[in-house]
Amino acid sequence: MKMLVTSDEKMLNDVQERLSQFPQKAPNAISSALNRGVTNMNSNSRKEIRKDYNIKAGDISPTLKVFRASRASLGASVQSKGGVIPLERFKISPKTINPKRKTPIKAAVKKGGAKSLGSGFVADISGPKVFKRTGESRLPIKRLFGPSVPQMLENERAREEIQKQGQETFEKRLEHEINRILEKGRA
């Protein structure tokens, strides 16, 4: 999953025209603004995912990587790579281990309601983990997983909001950077 902050040819020409007194400073202004926009997208990714899913920000952060802009490369992005997340990292009720439990445990991956796991159970194997039997006998069992962070970022509402806020931050910061350069030049 990749999210970009973009600048078009018209915007680049506008920046160069406004900074015509300082043409060498145009890439600095653009790259600074791009980096601020991407940083905003990175932090908003965690916020937007957590609006829809019962997951901690600490489980999201390791999957996000920021590619920053420089004077030579005026492109910035946030990429998310990662595998599926174990079900116990989401909301499980009850999390305690009880081999004689009669009621099924419930899991809430998305906010808004927990679903019964039927024959799912919690076992302590280097910490509590959620499993399910694959047949009628005690073994074999399989571990249960939720979605990956890139899958969570595929949510249309979240992705549009992250993209919109990142682009807005970029545009505000670009204006700020241009004004800062012009003020320094006048002084």
pLDDT digits (tens, 9 = 90+) for 142-186: 999 999 999 999 989 999 999 999 999 999 999 999 999 888 876
Phi, psi of 180 (to 5 degrees): -65, -45
Residue-wise DSSP of 26-70? HHHHHHHHHHHHHHHHHHHHHHHHHHHB---HHHHGGGEEEE---
Domain boundaries, the chain: 2-81+149-186, 86-147
Residue pLDDT, tens place only, 70-121: 888 888 999 999 999 999 999 998 888 888 888 889 999 999 889 998 888 9
DSSP annotation of 19 reads T
